[in-house]
Amino acid sequence: MRKSGVTRNVEGSVRELLRYMGEDPRREGLEKTPARVAKMYEFLTKGYHEEVETVLNKAVFTERYSEMVIVRDINFFSLCEHHLVPFYGKCHIAYIPNGKIIGLSKLPRIVEMFARRLQVQERLTQQIADTLYKHLKPLGVGVVMEARHLCMMMRGVEKHDSIATTSAMLGAFRNDVKTRSEFLTLLDRKMGN
């Protein structure tokens, strides 16, 4: 398989990084590391090459259901744009249909698409909520994300047990305290708090 110019450039950069660290990129254990790293980053950032319409794949359906739909504990992995180290956790999504529902498997796919980009958790949370709000036109959308950030755990303050929580509330989830409370209470009950 032929390598693209981008792949060759990434491999060359990784070789230089290894040299900068004081390593010999030609030694047996590191010889294939540049290629492995290039392939890894291609996978970890594949969200840049995905489009919402393709991910949805026409899986928005007309339905007269108008109660809250919640999908919780969607696992995700992303890369912190500040240090290029992972952050990972769970995403919880709720929406109240307004004549349209989405195939449930599409919610994790939307999370994955945005998570597989260089991110900050706050933007990631908002992108998921905005996308659902735009494409479903629901009465409301709520997204809560909980994540552990290796940039905080491995370096800097080195706080191993810290969890960052972010939320994005649109429509009824923002404007109606009862709706928001119902969502957060259901999440709290599930999490055992």
> Does the active-site annotation cover 146?
no
- What is residue 6's predicted lDDT score, i.e. its pLDDT? 75
Q: Which position among 23, 42, 50, 83 bears the catalytic label? A: 83
pLDDT digits (tens, 9 = 90+) for 23-60: 999 999 999 999 999 999 999 999 999 999 999 999 99
Q: Consecutive sets of 10 residues in the chain, 193 residues long: mean pLDDT of each?
A: 76 96 96 95 95 94 96 97 96 98 97 98 98 98 96 81 95 97 88 49
Q: Which position among 121, 122, 127, 158 bears the catalytic label? A: 121
At residue 187's C-alpha, the angle toward residues 171 and 59, to 5°, is 55
A 10 A CB-CB count for 90 gives 17
> Does the active-site annotation cover 119?
no
Domains of the chain: 5-44 (1.10.286.10), 52-190 (3.30.1130.10)
> Does the active-site annotation cover 92?
no
Q: For residue 8, which phi and psi values (nearest 5 degrees)? A: -60, -40
Q: Indicate the Cα dihedral angle 48, 52, 57, 61, nearest 10°.
A: 160
* Tokens standing for residue 51: 């489009």
Rounded CA separation 116/30 (Å): 26
Q: Which position among 16, 63, 81, 122 bears the catalytic label? A: 81
Q: Which position among 49, 63, 82, 122 bears the catalytic label? A: 82
Cβ–Cβ < 8 Å for 78, 116 = yes
Rounded CA separation 147/153 (Å): 11
> Does the active-site annotation cover 149?
yes
> Does the active-site annotation cover 91?
no
Burial of 14 (0-12, 13-18, 19+ CB in 10 A): buried
- What is residue 190's predicted lDDT score, i.e. its pLDDT? 60
> Does the active-site annotation cover 49?
no
Which stretches does DSSP call E strand in the chain?
A: 60-62, 69-80, 86-96, 100-102, 118-119, 140-149, 164-171
- What is residue 160's predicted lDDT score, i.e. its pLDDT? 80
> Does the active-site annotation cover 121?
yes
